[in-house]
Amino acid sequence: MDLALSGKVVVVTGASRGIGLAVTRGFLAEGASIVAGSLSISPELDELVTDGSVTAVAVDLSGSEGPERLIAEAGDRIDVLVNNVGLAVPRPEGFLAVTDDMWQATWNLNLMAAVRTTRAALPVMLRRGGGAIVNVASVNARMPDPTVIDYSASKAALVNFGKALSKEFGPRGIRVNSVDPGPVATDLWLGRDGVAARLSQASGRTAVEIAAEAAAGMVTGRFTRPDEVADLVVVLASGRLANVTGADFTIDGGLVSTI
């Protein structure tokens, strides 16, 4: 299937690893040019820069200046924006232990980074007559979890933000959709400082046991692979789904029961 993405300019946030890296690879495979933003440039992202179709930008997206600087790197053309950067820190001590600073850090990266990056990108898209935005949210947007209470709230806000944007800018040729992954086999969940490891420190169970329990909660019995999320993002951003906007797509191995 030709997704007609060859020659398109794509901006991806949080592109150095995990889902963001997989998304960058996915668009690269379709012939797009990618401006990949992340706090630091990983060796894996640096490898993609060598062929000239990926521009890696080291940028702090949690502040007010980083998103504008990233969008400026794209120049006068942006066809697709993928708001992927995010932060998930388990709060096993419960709500009362979550400070204002913790809330603010999560809110800045999970919601405000998308708000600011989108605000900078939209004028570029509008001048060219359209574009596509895909926000990477989470099943926690609809499955509140006190262990990640600030993460869940921020992802719910991100989904709501995307739906509101789709209503305002849809008539002007810009589609906005969200992807809601369940647990994904990335460092965010399975890394040395990932969710499983942090919950292990608090519970006394091993990280392997915690990850296995999470996987068992899915009908498929496994974590989603980053490339599977990336495939969904790439197709949503393509013209093959040109009449899909304001939608929210779950990819969670059946974790969340639906009717």
Catalytic residues: 151
Q: Is the alpha carbon torsion for 243, 248, 253, 257 positive or negative?
A: negative
Nearest to 12 by CA among 4, 24, 1: 24
Question: d(Cα 173, Cα 166) in Å, to the nearest integer?
Answer: 10
Question: d(Cα 149, Cα 78) in Å, to the nearest integer?
Answer: 34
Sheet strands (E) in 39-142: 54-58, 80-83, 131-136
Q: Are 23 and 15 in contact (CB under 8 A)?
A: yes
Q: What phi-psi label fits residue 57: left (phi over 0), alpha (psi between -120 and 50 degrees) or beta?
A: beta
User: What is residue 224's DSSP assignment?
Assistant: B
